[in-house]
A and B are shown apart, each in its own frame.
Chain A
Amino acid sequence: MKVSRRGFMKGMGAVASMTGIDSMMAKCAFAAEQAKAAAAMQPAGVMMVKSTCVQCVNFCGIEAKLDNGVIKAIYPDKMRAQYYNWGICPKGATGLFNTYNPYRLKKPLKRTNPNKGMNEDPKWVEISWEEAFQTLTDKLAKVKADNPDKLVWHHGHGKYLIGDQFPKAFVAAFGTRNLVHRTTTCEAARHVADENTWGGHGHLPDLEYTNLYLSFGSNPFEGEQWSRWLDHAIVDGKERGMKMIVIEPRFSQAAAMADEWIPMRPGKDVVFILALAKQLIDNKTIDTDFLMTYTNAPQLVGDDGRLLKGADGRPLVMDVSGATKAYDDPAAKAQLTGSYTVDDKVYHTAFQALVDDIKDMTPQYAEEVCGVPAARVISLAKEIATAARFGSTLVIDGQPVRYRPVASYTFRGLSAKEFGVQNNRANLILNMLIGSMDAAGGLLLGHAMGHLEFLEPSKCEYPPKRVDLAKSVYYPHATHECCQQVQYTVNDPKVYGLGYQPEVQIFYATNRPFSTSDAIKQQDGMKKTWNCVIDITMTETTQFADLVLPDRTYLESWHFSPTRSTPGTKHSAIRQPMVNVYNIPYEGMSILWELNKRLGLRDAYVDALNKKWGLKKVTFQKGRDYTSKEMVEVLWQDKTGKPFDYAMLNAFVGKKINVKDRYLHSIEKGCKGPGKQRIKLYADHLVDSYANVVETVKANDIKNIDLEQYRIAYLPLPSKEHAFPTPHREAKDYPLYLITHKRIYRNQSGYMAENAILNQALGADVAENHIAVNTATGKALGLKDGAMAVIETRVGKAKGKVKLTEGIRPDTIAVSYHYGQWSLGMPDYAKKGIWINQALELHPDRIAGMNSFNDTKCKLTKA
């Protein structure tokens, strides 16, 4: 069935929308016309400056109002609305208090108390920048001369302040492999699931056309990376008639905005998704064309779990004639299901392997495991099948595009888990079954097959070269670093086979005690090394620092900013300084420049910068110094070709993505036709990765790898075992599930903890966090609303106030991040609430090295 876009809009009964993209564009055009006139009316001393917010990873366009050089307000940049954010969140609106904060670090500090600990006063002494740089340079020079790998560079938020290209260039010039970002705090498992399925990562629902939106563990109304686009796209979609179903254990703000909340038992989504898959398959309501054209569903799999390949190495399919043919033979009419004998061996199609794998995923089994009624599994599968409009095409701007307006989307809820990769692969498979990948209204993928190496078995390196064990036998497919692993390795490198003892750790704008699980154990490693923290406030990480360098905030410094693209738009942006409230002479970029200079690495750094930034037309030159502004100028000019004056006036330049680039650039180019790698419904290479793990463990007599757990983790298809992470299997005496979540009022690292407005003006109910307990459960435990209670897990305890609610499963409790700071350098009011990280069990995903946050089980008692 073909539908034109005009017919589509008419058919949806669309009324001229007061909000919505069309009216937003009209608003922007009008605003642009009036902006000049309005600007001319600003009273003397008032200046408007555009920039980019970096308090979370949405990178919203902002416009700040300065009155005689003082920031008085921060507004959304309405010119950016048609490319990304329509508004800003409360963090953004109060961002000036991230900067005007008397608790900020203002001068370099040196520790004089050699004892490090949560409750140990470092007894800081202020030193000069010269002494600070000299101290740091001396330390680094020694390490470099000995073994550069003994330096570990950490960043988290810092990646967004200066880009990871600068630290990557620094560590390249310095010679250490150990640069660690905090993606394993966020959604690394989802990226790794993508990579091991379609050779790239990143996907978004095509909400402009979606009719049924399934949101698994994703909450753009409180967290999420793309939330300032997702939020208005969802709200507009709902007004257009889109149905949104939120599947998660807690009645989040996303669930509050949805048409339906399905309260999922924590960690069991994979069974629910596979049960839906089984319904779709049993009902014969799947997109077989999609499976045959774009995926490896018809490819033959042997009993050893590996693909049957021809002499030329190409995977084979079973043709209807009874002969095997190469998977991309245009003459082949492949079987999708079935088992076949080839050369006296039995093979089944990859699709058949899936069918067999999920044969037990009945609605009744899903009800038993997930706590969701069997009838809903059955009816939801039917709903999905109806909404998917198999075989339809939508004509957009004259271009016919496959039309499957169902998007099943996941984020951190499924990722921050021991089986995060498998959970996400299950969802990718669901999307394959309905053919929604790269379809209008479906799930739009990043650049498919841009990195074919992701679909190869891991070499399972041993001994590991990196302190975070990424890509070693421990985390064979950890392409995004493993931030939570570092301190364990530092604390005892021999246990992991690491051939050196790290000596120096630099933490740039990251607060690991607040972004890891089992967080107290993180401290042992930090006590063993000489540490430098570069940050804006006295975070918990500074409790373990030997040297602290103050950074400038996002309103005080330059950057060629990261940005978020949407299905229909992309843009490039800068961040520019407006103030320097405490006259801090250095910031991240210039600190790195100074270090490189003093270490004699300046030219090597410049070479590495050009490589890491991929500069082509305008490059950094050796033999000279650069200010941060000059560096941003180079980046802007190379990436946009526009003059820098334009950047300082507008802060960004954007463009619309045409229909071909939106729908036809990824799997259409990368997975279809002769010679193209198909999307791995069946991840055969994981079988080989596991074989390499076994071999490596045997060859090196490694004692701390549980091979059976790796076997389960590395199954080529998501399976029921992936619904049972370690705490669910082992913590038998702990009856409740403990989950964590974000709140929109703060970010995870604690940079908002001191913000006067966020603490005092938003309402007492969000000035601290609580233990969300189901009302009936609370009653049964004798807990009243507001009472103090203790959460006890196998690794720790946390105490806090109970908040009774109907909006959570009776078998689950939830505590948010963002509160309960304990740094001695923070005021008491920042310490309100619960630091939940100390009680979370840590069982990293064995494929991705992802930090698990939401698998814990606990007891809850009155305090």
Chain B
Amino acid sequence: MTKFVRVIDTERCFGCRSCVAACAVENHFTPDAPWNVMMEYETGTYPNVARNFVTMNCQHCEEPPCKAACDAAGFKAISKNEFGVVLIDYEKCKGCKYCVATCPYGVPQFNDKVAQLYPGKEKTAYETVEKRHPTHAKRANVVEKCTFCWHKLEKAVQSGQIGLIGKVPEFTPTCDLVCPVGARIFGDIDDPNSTVSQYIARKRATQIKKEFGTKPQVYYVLKGGEY
């Protein structure tokens, strides 16, 4: 069995937003629909102050309510593959936003328009590349979200190198790759010897919003409460 999870260690995170920036670049960010978001907040009263940095992208739940809602609505645009990656098929999505309504984490982003990065100027070569992975073929009136960089993981699967997922840059989700302090790791939780398995145990990582029973595949080492 292989179940890919991400661990985000908010004790190590210092809020640089490199993962947010890198995700945007990797995944053809369209304005107002970020796939990875930083929530930075303060607690306490001067001079006893603290600040937390928590990023969130899709939790890739084992029981995704977004998929349940989409299936119930009859569009069946959301799927969960054998590696646990939850994906949206932009062709099937009708932009009803039921997934937006049901997700406890606020993950799915509705794209009301696909805007170019420099409005009023010529499109950059980065934007005019024709052959895009289906998850990067953005369109208006459709919902999009983090894909665990499936376009990268898929290559590992296709080339029979599943064992390298999370271990080499080519097969690691980009947000997990760029962290300057190693606050994010990605790997197989079904392997008890994997870095993620050991990290979750050693640093008492947990999932957030467990009360929804969605069984997210993203674990957090948390500082402070109210998730």
Contact = CB atoms under 8 A, between A and B. Distances in A.
Interface of A: 15, 18-19, 24, 27, 30-31, 34-35, 37-39, 41-43, 63, 67-68, 70-76, 78, 85-90, 92-94, 96-97, 100-103, 221, 228, 231-232, 235, 239, 251, 253, 255-257, 261, 263, 581, 744-745, 756-758, 760-763, 765-766, 774-776, 805-810, 827
Contact of B178 (A19, A75, A263, A763): A75
A76 B180 CA distance: 9
Contacts of B126: 70-72, 96-97, 100
A92 B25 CA distance: 11
Interface in B117-172: 117-118, 121-122, 124-126, 129, 155, 159, 161, 164, 167-171
A70 B49 contact: no
Highest count of chain A CB atoms <10 Å: which of B16, B50, B170, B178: B16
Contact of A73 (B17, B22, B44, B183): B22
A256 B178 contact: no
A756 B34 contact: no
Contact of B167 (A34, A68, A102): A34
Contacts of B14: 221, 231, 235, 253, 256-257
Contact of A18 (B155, B167, B177, B199): B199
Given A34-B167, A38-B169, A766-B17, 10 more contacts: A18-B198, A19-B182, A31-B169, A71-B126, A75-B178, A89-B18, A94-B24, A762-B24, A763-B37, A827-B118
A806 B12 CA distance: 22
Interface of B: 12, 14-18, 20-22, 24-26, 29, 31-32, 34, 37-38, 40, 42, 44-47, 49-51, 53, 117-118, 121-122, 124-126, 129, 155, 159, 161, 164, 167-171, 174, 177-183, 185, 195, 198-199, 202-203
Interface of A is mostly: mixed
A76 B21 contact: no
B29 to A, nearest CB: 5
Contact of A763 (B25, B38, B44, B171): B38
Given A31-B168, A88-B180, A806 B49 contact: yes
B224 to A, nearest CB: 12
Highest count of chain B CB atoms <10 Å: which of A15, A100, A757: A757
A766 B14 CA distance: 15
Nearest to B171: A38
17 contacts: A19-B181, A31-B167, A31-B169, A41-B161, A72-B129, A75-B178, A76-B177, A87-B178, A90-B18, A93-B22, A93-B178, A103-B121, A221-B16, A256-B50, A261-B49, A761-B20, A807-B42
Contacts of B121: 102-103
A90 B21 contact: yes
A87 B25 contact: no
A761 B31 CA distance: 7
B46 A88 contact: no
A251 B42 CA distance: 10
A658 to B, nearest CB: 26
Highest count of chain B CB atoms <10 Å: which of A35, A102, A805: A102
A83 to B, nearest CB: 14
A391 to B, nearest CB: 34
B17 A90 contact: yes
Nearest to B136: A72
Contact of A256 (B15, B24, B122, B129): B15
A235 B125 contact: no
A263 B46 CA distance: 9
B117 A760 contact: yes
A807 B125 contact: no
